[in-house]
């Protein structure tokens, strides 16, 4: 490639959007997902106006609807919980995805529900973010320890989805060519230092720590950095494989040969011992009923959702938390969602949250006042030592009592510049003076007693910069009078 064909924009990373969105960092975290589908998602993001997308009322309604989605309870007492699209801790707006936090809430509620005999976890997912995945696996495993739960794959279950499905009591796919697998972990470090050099760009990474700034655009990737990246990938992959092995009740070494990133078909996954078989949803459902000790011939009467969850107060949704507590933070709301907090529990938590913030602000304010007072006293003492202030308790001329013979003042010095200056202003303007009259009095006192005015300003505004500004202000006042 000739250098004349190179342009700076080929190297510079331009921002593609600018907007504020809760949990935006979730999109840019580490993913455990089928690579080709993830690239398709990324291409879709690059081709859209994300700001307009997020602000779209249709998108907001769709996200809110999926965030408030509850599990279905069949007449046989089977809770049907679905994982559709990419899995993230929050409901993704750019795909018909699933919130792992909300899914965990559904599983916990179903586990507590006396009407629920078992659960069917229906998956059609390419995987999702690493964040939240281990917690979801733990909740599926916890449910399976008390009630049977089947994982039923509809066409695809890849990457992070495999680790979740592995925690179920049994796993089935809807047909032999359903995709199952894509197990493995990978990361990418791009070395575009050659391109930067051709463009005449020299990137300097100023850092404290050998591996900080690793992979910064325009810098060369060293062998040590590649080794560190490999260490991270290996560690993450080991945890991922261990979750799958634990769920399947197999040694991790039996899983490792299958985790090379390849996609398996369901028929191959059966032979590898990753899933139990290939059958229809109805067949898997009938087997689940039998395992749950419930015959489909004895069907209890359907109940309204309000009755189904009567013994367990409904956990607050994200939309409810935002509406009830509009000034709450995203971190606080996420903690309530993860704790399955009801609105009453969230209300009590919010009171503590507000009180804690108020106490923190109060302590910060007290400290600021103390620091400002100490700084002001230090500055005044320093100015007095340098001979820049005349004698007096705060650097102004002593104020004598009426009748002392000088006629200089009719009030006593208090030793506080703020109090003395205000007393001088009140003596001229009166106690209930208008703003205009008080301002005239301030100018008169400032002109007649510049030392007092300077001490007053220093007490209100400590610091070197303030000293300079105060000096300029005094000169302006003196000149105007």
- Give the pLDDT score at 248: 94
Can you tell me the distance from the alpha carbon of 205 to that of 215, in angstroms, rounded to the nearest whole number? 10
Instruction: Please give the tally of structural domains in the chain.
Output: 3
Over the chain, what is the mean pLDDT?
74
Q: Are residues 97 and 244 in the same domain?
A: yes
Q: Mean pLDDT throughout 303-309?
A: 38
Higher-confidence residue of 396 and 149: namely 149
Q: Are residues 344 and 464 in the same domain?
A: no
Q: Does any domain span residue 144?
A: yes
At 28, the pLDDT band (50, 70, 90 cuts) reads: low
Q: Greatest CA span in the chain, whole angstroms?
A: 112
Return contacts of 200-209, CB within 8 angstroms, 24+ apart: 201/8, 201/11
Q: Are residues 347 and 404 in the same domain?
A: no
Burial code (b: 16+ CB inside 10 Å, e: under 16) for 14-33 equals: eeeeeeebebeebbeeebbb
Query: Which of 263, 285, 310 is the last residue in one of the domains?
Result: 310
Q: Are residues 292 and 175 in the same domain?
A: yes
Weakest-pLDDT range from 77-91, 302-316, 317-331, 372-386: 302-316
At 481, the pLDDT band (50, 70, 90 cuts) reads: low
Can you tell me the distance from the alpha carbon of 92 to that of 269, in angstroms, rounded to the nearest whole number? 29
Secondary structure (3-state) at 120: strand
Q: Are residues 346 and 459 in the same domain?
A: no
CATH number at residue 255: 3.90.226.10
Q: Are residues 359 and 269 in the same domain?
A: no
Q: Would you list the DSSP string of 407-452? A: -S-SS---S-HHHHHHHHHHHHH-TT--HHHHHHHHHHHHHH-HHH
72-111 tens-digit pLDDT: 888 889 999 999 888 888 765 455 678 888 889 889 989 9
**φ, ψ of residue 76 in degrees (nearest 5):** -90, 0
- Give the pLDDT score at 385: 67
CB-based burial of residue 124 (10 Å sphere; 0-12 exposed, 13-18 middle, 19+ buried)? buried
Q: What is the pTM of this model?
A: 0.53
Residue in the block written with tokens 């004895």 = 298
DSSP state of 10: G
Q: Are residues 294 and 428 in the same domain?
A: no
Can you tell me the distance from the alpha carbon of 170 to that of 152, in angstroms, rounded to the nearest whole number? 9
Weakest-pLDDT range from 134-148, 193-207, 209-223, 452-466: 452-466
- Give the pLDDT score at 391: 44
Higher-confidence residue of 311 and 238: namely 238
Identify which of 36-50, 223-237, 461-475 has the greatest average pLDDT: 223-237
- Give the pLDDT score at 338: 81
On the question of pLDDT at 187 being above 80, the answer is no
At 311, the pLDDT band (50, 70, 90 cuts) reads: very low
- Give the pLDDT score at 417: 75
First-to-last alpha carbon distance for the chain, in angstroms, is 74
Q: Mean pLDDT throughout 338-347?
A: 76
Domain span including residue 322: 312-384
Q: Mean pLDDT throughout 390-406?
A: 43
Q: Mean pLDDT throughout 190-197?
A: 81
Q: Does any domain span residue 121?
A: yes
Residue in the block written with tokens 């992959």 = 237
Query: Which of 310, 330, 354 is the last residue in one of the domains?
Result: 310
Q: Mean pLDDT throughout 339-350?
A: 76
Query: Which of 365, 384, 403 is the last residue in one of the domains?
Result: 384
Q: Does any domain span residue 138?
A: yes
Q: Are residues 203 and 337 in the same domain?
A: no
Q: Mean pLDDT throughout 158-169?
A: 94
**φ, ψ of residue 127 in degrees (nearest 5):** 120, -155
Q: Are residues 147 and 262 in the same domain?
A: yes
- Give CA separation, 433 vs 405, 428, 430, 477, in Å: 29, 9, 6, 21
At 291, the pLDDT band (50, 70, 90 cuts) reads: very high
DSSP state of 396: S
Q: Does any domain span residue 218?
A: yes
At 66, the pLDDT band (50, 70, 90 cuts) reads: very low
Q: Mean pLDDT throughout 175-203?
A: 82
Q: Mean pLDDT throughout 41-48?
A: 55
Higher-confidence residue of 47 and 446: namely 446
Weakest-pLDDT range from 234-243, 260-269, 419-428: 419-428
Can you tell me the distance from the alpha carbon of 55 to that of 77, in angstroms, rounded to the nearest whole number? 39
Higher-confidence residue of 56 and 428: namely 428
- Give the pLDDT score at 1: 44
Percent of the chain surpassing pLDDT 70:
67
Q: Are residues 299 and 317 in the same domain?
A: no
Q: Are residues 396 and 263 in the same domain?
A: no
Higher-confidence residue of 252 and 214: namely 252
Q: Does any domain span residue 1?
A: no
Q: Are residues 304 and 221 in the same domain?
A: yes
Kind and range of the H or E element at 100? Answer: helix 100-112
C-beta separation of 126 from 154 below 8 A: no
109-142 tens-digit pLDDT: 899 988 899 999 999 998 888 888 899 999 999 9
């Amino acid at each position: 490639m000739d250098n004349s064909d190179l342009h700076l924009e080929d190297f510079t990373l331009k921002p593609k959007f600018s907007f504020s969105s809760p949990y935006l960092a979730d999109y840019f975290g580490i993913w455990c997902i089928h690579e080709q589908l993830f690239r398709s998602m990324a291409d879709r993001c690059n081709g859209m106006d994300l700001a307009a997308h997020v602000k779209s009322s249709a998108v907001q309604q769709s996200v809110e609807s999926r965030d408030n989605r509850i599990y279905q309870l069949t007449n046989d007492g089977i809770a049907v919980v679905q994982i559709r699209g990419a899995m993230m801790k929050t409901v993704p707006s750019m795909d018909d995805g699933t919130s792992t936090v909300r899914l965990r809430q559904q599983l916990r509620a179903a586990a507590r529900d006396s009407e629920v005999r078992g659960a069917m976890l229906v998956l059609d997912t390419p995987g999702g973010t690493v964040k939240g995945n281990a917690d979801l696996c733990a909740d599926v495993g916890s449910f399976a320890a008390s009630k049977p739960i089947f994982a039923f794959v509809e066409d695809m279950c890849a990457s992070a989805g495999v680790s979740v499905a592995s925690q179920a009591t049994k796993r089935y796919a809807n047909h032999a060519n359903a995709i199952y697998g894509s197990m493995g972990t990978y990361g990418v470090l791009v070395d575009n230092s050659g391109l930067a050099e051709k463009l005449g760009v020299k990137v300097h990474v100023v850092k404290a720590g050998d591996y900080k700034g690793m992979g910064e655009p325009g810098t060369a990737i060293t062998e040590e950095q590649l080794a560190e990246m490999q260490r991270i990938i290996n560690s993450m992959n080991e945890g991922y494989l261990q979750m799958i092995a634990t769920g399947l009740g197999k040694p991790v070494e039996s899983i490792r040969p299958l985790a090379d990133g390849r996609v398996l078909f369901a028929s191959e996954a059966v032979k590898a011992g990753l899933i139990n078989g290939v059958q229809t949803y109805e067949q898997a459902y009938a087997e689940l009923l039998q395992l749950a000790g419930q015959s489909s011939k004895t069907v209890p009467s359907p109940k309204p959702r309000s009755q189904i969850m009567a013994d367990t107060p409904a956990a607050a949704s994200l939309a409810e938390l935002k509406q009830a507590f509009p000034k709450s933070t995203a971190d606080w709301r996420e903690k309530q969602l993860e704790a399955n907090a009801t609105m009453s529990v969230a209300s009590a938590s919010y009171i503590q949250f507000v009180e804690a913030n108020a106490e923190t602000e109060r302590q910060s304010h007290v400290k600021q006042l103390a620091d400002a007072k100490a700084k002001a006293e230090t500055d005044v003492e320093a100015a007095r030592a340098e001979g820049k202030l005349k004698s007096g308790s705060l650097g102004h001329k002593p104020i004598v009592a009426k009748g002392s013979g000088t006629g200089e003042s009719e009030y006593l010095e208090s030793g506080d510049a703020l109090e003395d200056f205000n007393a001088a202003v009140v003596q001229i303007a009166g106690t209930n003076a208008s703003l205009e009259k008080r301002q005239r009095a301030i100018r008169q006192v400032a002109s007649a007693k510049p030392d007092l005015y300077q001490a007053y300003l220093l007490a209100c505004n400590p610091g070197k910069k303030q000293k300079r500004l105060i000096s300029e202000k005094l000169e302006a006042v003196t000149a105007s009078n």
